Homo-oligomer: A and B are copies of this chain.
């Protein structure tokens, strides 16, 4: 069983462009990480499967390798940007808890690691959990947007069924009525 050890737990949070995964990360930082723990956070971003382009676009013009390279570069920049934002949130939550909630100071002994992988998020997340010896997987309930979900099915459902470690599925409330308490 995953548990509190001197070495801490390996907690993976699946991050994407959506607010829900950022909410899940914030929830995890506030609710799952113990004071003075040595938990290790892994922020995983999965770049969607590459679209298989026809050699010609709709107007008959050949896709140049420059365009493909530009799209790939853009995709990488999005991934870097999303993970950078997620890392900043780890710091923000630390500060809030240090300054305001003195009784539960969150000392970030926790190391934060970011990873970018390519492929179908359902498979990539499950494989990463196993490969990296993750103790807890945290994810938003939807992930990867309405349109992609229609094709891929629910990523969180798939992972909950297929990974061996505990899975925490966090939904972002539709209203802010719950506040931040």
Residues of A in contact with B (beta carbons under 8 Å apart) = 1-5, 9, 23-24, 26-27, 30-32, 34-36, 101, 103-104, 136, 141, 154, 156-157, 160-161, 164-171, 173, 178-181
Interface pair A35/B35, CB less than 8 Å apart: yes
In the complex, which of the residues B32, B141, B165 contacts A171, with contact meaning CB atoms closer than 8 Å? B165
Q: How far is the CA of A156 from the CA of B157 in the complex (A)?
A: 10
Q: How far is the CA of A178 from the CA of B26 in the complex (A)?
A: 28
Q: How far is the CA of A31 from the CA of B173 in the complex (A)?
A: 24
In the complex, which of the residues B4, B103, B169 contacts A167, with contact meaning CB atoms closer than 8 Å? B169
Interface pair B168/A5, CB less than 8 Å apart: no
Q: How far is the CA of A179 from the CA of B135 in the complex (A)?
A: 13
Interface pair A160/B169, CB less than 8 Å apart: yes
Q: In the assembled complex, which residues on chain B have CB atoms less than 8 Å from the CB atom of A23?
A: 1
CB-CB under 8 A for A181 and B5, given A31-B136, A156-B160, A166-B168: yes
- The interface centre, meaning the residue of A2, A3, A103, A104 with most chain B CB atoms within 10 A of its CB, is A3
Q: In the assembled complex, which residues on chain B have CB atoms less than 8 Å from the CB atom of A4?
A: 30-31, 101, 104
Report the nearest B residue to A165, measured CB to CB. Answer: B171
Q: How far is the CA of A170 from the CA of B136 in the complex (A)?
A: 9
Report the nearest B residue to A9, measured CB to CB. Answer: B31
Report the nearest B residue to A30, measured CB to CB. Answer: B3
Query: What are 5 A-B contacts with C-beta separation under 8 Å?
Result: A3-B30, A4-B31, A27-B166, A34-B34, A164-B171
Interface pair B169/A166, CB less than 8 Å apart: yes
Report the nearest B residue to A172, measured CB to CB. Answer: B1
Q: How far is the CA of A1 from the CA of B26 in the complex (A)?
A: 9
Q: How far is the CA of A16 from the CA of B166 in the complex (A)?
A: 18
- The interface centre, meaning the residue of A23, A32, A181 with most chain B CB atoms within 10 A of its CB, is A181
